[in-house]
Amino acid sequence: MVHELEASGSFSEPCILGIDEAGRGPVLGPMVYGCAFCEKKNAGKLKDLGVADSKVLTEEKRDNINDAIREHHLDWLGFCLIPISPEEVSQKMLRLQKTSLNVISHNAAAQLIQFALDGGANIKEVFVDTVGDPGKYQTWLSSQFPGISITVTAKADALYPIVSAASVVAKVCRDRTLASWKWENSGYVSCM
């Protein structure tokens, strides 16, 4: 389920959309899938915003970019977020009919694309940071969204500024969730 959609502008002209995630693999906190989208004619504004792969930006720079996107309601850039709780990941991976982490991730990406389309964005190109085999992932997404050009590649967050924007909003959402994390167990387990 998409947690949040912010899109205050018009996205009726051909749009690009990027998808990335934060928190795949860590033990604590949610895995957050994010997408960013804008009309192709506004793609140059992404570099002016300072987006880059969230892993190479300082926390302060990520926060500043995120705040510019979210608080100033940029009318040319929209985003969607899907936080996936550790409980949901565990439940899906450990049930009798298991769902792999890759499938959970692929489904989240498809939900983000569909949500942007349902919100009226005229998505024509999608760029996704890969999870698993990029060829198989790209073929699957292309079958889900015929007529949309899909590119799935490793390091997409470093190659495509629209994916970098998605990387930033996903990472900041995850970081802020962890900053307010409530520990349920104040004790520790001894291994002795």
- What residue segments make up the domains of the chain, in order of their start? 4-179
Pick the CATH number of 4-179 from 3.30.420.10, 2.160.10.10, 3.60.40.10, 3.60.20.10: 3.30.420.10
pLDDT at residue 54, as a whole number: 77
pLDDT at residue 5, as a whole number: 55
Note the pLDDT tens digit of each residue in 43-52. Answer: 999 988 888 7
Residues in the chain with pLDDT < 70?
A: 1-9, 26-27, 72-73, 183-192
pLDDT at residue 52, as a whole number: 79
Per residue, what are the HEC states of 138-189? HHHHHHHCCCCEEEEECCHHHHCHHHHHHHHHHHHHHHHHHHCCCCCCCCCC
DSSP code for 90: H
pLDDT at residue 95, as a whole number: 83
pLDDT at residue 3, as a whole number: 53
DSSP code for 107: H
pLDDT at residue 2, as a whole number: 47
Is the pTM for the entire model greater than 0.95?
A: no
